[in-house]
Amino acid sequence: MARLIGGLGTSHVPSIAVALDRGLADTPDWKPFFDGYIPAKAWMARKKPDIAIVIYNDHGNSFFLDRVPTLALGVADSYRPIDEGWGPRAIPPIPGAADFAWHLADRMVERHFDPLICRELEVDHGMQVPLELFYGLPQAWPVRTVPILVNTIQYPIPTPQRLWALGAVLREAIESWPGDETVVILGTGGLSHQLQGARAGFINRAADHDWLENIGPHPERYRDMTREQYVETFGSEGAELIMWLAMRAAMNPKVRTVMTHYHAPASMTGAGMVVLENEEEPA
């Protein structure tokens, strides 16, 4: 069977891509953020996973407000960057793990999930940025991917409990896959931010730090929250953090927090990262 070797959570802020494209990673404003990912990139280089399941939300690019699937699953052989308004970014196509993705699709339907199956899909910064943060920008991506898109844009969004249940299906799919691939799951989005309304510019640094500290050892406190509590605590766009829950639920009850990173500049969002590994379960 395949083996889950790590769970990673990370922000996917679009300005990160702009900073990379413009060569700003070593400027005073951006260096503290990018330096925090250096140990995570080293972790990924050591582990060399074969497949990365990337859980993210589209931002009105592949899907718009007239058609918003609650869950969508990519089963393509590759994924190209989409034009987000200034042309597609000059990054290589992202290879897909189509065979495993179809296996996952079957498991999801067996467990009463009904994803939109995407044989073709262009991906925006929600998927691009996390891969770049953990891999840099290689000539060719060294990992095959399975994108899972979650609606966190147009209400009603799914509940935290539904994303937790999705994580259990991911684990089942990995453990029932007959190949010997190693797998990582990337839960993306957040941290706290709100882009509109009376609380535009809202950041909750204390809640962000608590999240990074406790998503590993105490995930139940976040699993049991309501959608309204996510919005109140993390902001309307900070509700993207429910996507980290699927990653965490796929892992063992006990995990080891390998590293965390947090950066909240004078901008519109708190940004952060966590790397988790499974603790061994008793025989």
Q: Is the whole-model pTM more than 0.85?
A: yes
What was the pLDDT predicted at 29?
Answer: 87
Question: 12, 103, 193, 263: which one is catalytic?
Answer: 193
State the pLDDT at residue 13: 87
pLDDT given at position 269: 83
pLDDT of residue 283: 52
How far does Cα 275 stand from its chain's mean position? 12
pLDDT in tens, 194-235: 888 888 888 899 999 999 999 999 999 999 999 999 999 999
- What confidence category does residue 36 fall into, taking pLDDT thresholds of 50, 70 and 90? very high
- The answer, yes or no, to whether residue 84 has pLDDT greater than 90, is no
Angstrom distances, CA of residue 15 to CA of 33, 69, 132, 236, 274? 12, 25, 13, 18, 20
Write down the mean pLDDT value for the chain. 94
Domain 3-271, second-level architecture? 3-Layer(aba) Sandwich (3.40)
Residue 281: pLDDT band (50, 70, 90) is low
Establish whether 193 is a catalytic residue.
yes
Angle at 72 between CA 96 and CA 15, to 5 degrees: 75
Catalytic annotation, pick one of 12, 103, 125, 263 = 125
Would residue 125 show up in a list of annotated catalytic residues for this protein? yes
Query: Which pLDDT does position 85 carry in this prediction?
Result: 87
- Kindly state the tokens that stand for 61: 């690019």
- Which pLDDT belongs to residue 15? 86
With 70 as the cut, is the pLDDT of residue 268 above it? no
Please report the pLDDT score of residue 198 as a whole number.
Answer: 85
Mean pLDDT, to the nearest integer, of 75-96?
A: 93
Residue 201: its pLDDT value, please?
82
- Model pLDDT, residue 98: 98
How confident is the model at residue 47, as a pLDDT?
97
pLDDT digits (tens, 9 = 90+) for 114-158: 999 999 999 999 999 999 999 998 999 999 999 999 999 999 999
Q: How far is the CA of 236 from the CAs of 160, 178, 220, in angstroms?
A: 14, 40, 21
Query: What Cα–Cα distance (Å) separates residue 271 from each residue in 259, 260, 283?
Result: 14, 11, 38
Q: Are 105 and 75 in contact (CB under 8 A)?
A: yes
Q: What mean pLDDT is predicted for residues 154-175?
A: 97
pLDDT the model gives residue 76: 98
Please choose, from the candidates 280, 258, 283, the residue with its C-alpha nearest in 3D space to the C-alpha of residue 7.
258
pLDDT at 195: 81
Averaged pLDDT, 246-258: 97
The domain locations on the chain are 3-271
Please indicate whether residue 29 or residue 3 has the higher confidence score (pLDDT): 3
- Which pLDDT band, with edges at 50, 70 and 90, does 39 fall under? very high
Tell me what pLDDT residue 110 has. Answer: 97
Confidence at residue 267, expressed as pLDDT on a 0 to 100 scale: 60
